[in-house]
Amino acid sequence: MSSELVVAVVQMTSVDEIDTNLQQLKSALDDIFKHAQPRLVSFPENCLYLRLVEGEKVAGLQISHPVFAQISKWAQQYNTHLHLGSVPLLVDGHLYNSSVLVRPTGEVEPTYKKLHLFDIQLDGQQPMRESDVFRHGQKPSVIDVDGWRIGEAICYDVRFSELFSQYAQQEVDVILVPAAFLVKTGEAHWEVLLRARAIESQSYVLASAQGGTHIGPRGGQRDTYGHSLIIDPWGVIIGQVAELKPGFVISTLSRAKIDKVRSQIPMKAHRRLQLPKL
């Protein structure tokens, strides 16, 4: 396992048109690789398609869709891992909000299906029901990038500490939390939840977010909170996209930092409750 891992967290303002989002994704990659050579580039939830009209039917993507072949070429071109925070993926005829990892070899791997779906009703706003579109995922997922163990979550999952306890018990090095947070909940809960997850897991957290005002080609519109973050195992924010528009932040993650935090506060030795693995 490498002692360091260079990563990039990308913020997007995706819309409900794949080609437009694909251009935004490629523009981010071109800019990132002018500055560094990250081995992992993390994109937000709904990076290839963001529904802007509540209740509108979502056409799912299969892994055979040409968009994945194009992204596979870019992963090979830049010799990096591209983590698509989530896409509407069709699996056995059912639609899932699913993460996809594209490896430097070009291999495309569906990795994690969102466990907790966003069915909520905020005061003064229309209800949102993600479960009207997607099925629930069934289990956590840990992926490997250059020997670094990386746990996966998506957006609303961040509120459910039991998922992150699973990753803490597996001693993952990094947790990915791609998201498309609402502005109201983001202002209240985004940073505090993510920092808490880093602290309790004693791992890095990479939170790639949708940010800004999304205006679709068919007139749909919504706003997302942005504030993409990189947080270290001590809970310190070491990188942030502060503006509400597409952007990115690059950081070098350190194995020594993880070891230092875990040696100072040895939570593994103190843990009294062992959760059954999902």
Catalytic positions are 45, 114, 155
Instruction: Read off the amino acid at residue 68.
Output: F
Half-sphere exposure of 271 (CA within 13 A, CB side): 16
DSSP for 106-155, please give it.
Answer: --EEEEEE-SS--EE--TTS--EEGGGT-BPP-S--EEEETTEEEEE--G
Q: Could you say which DSSP state residue 45 is in?
A: T
Instruction: Read off the amino acid at residue 221.
Output: Q
C-alpha triplet 40, 114, 85: angle, nearest 5°: 25
C-alpha triplet 129, 134, 140: angle, nearest 5°: 110
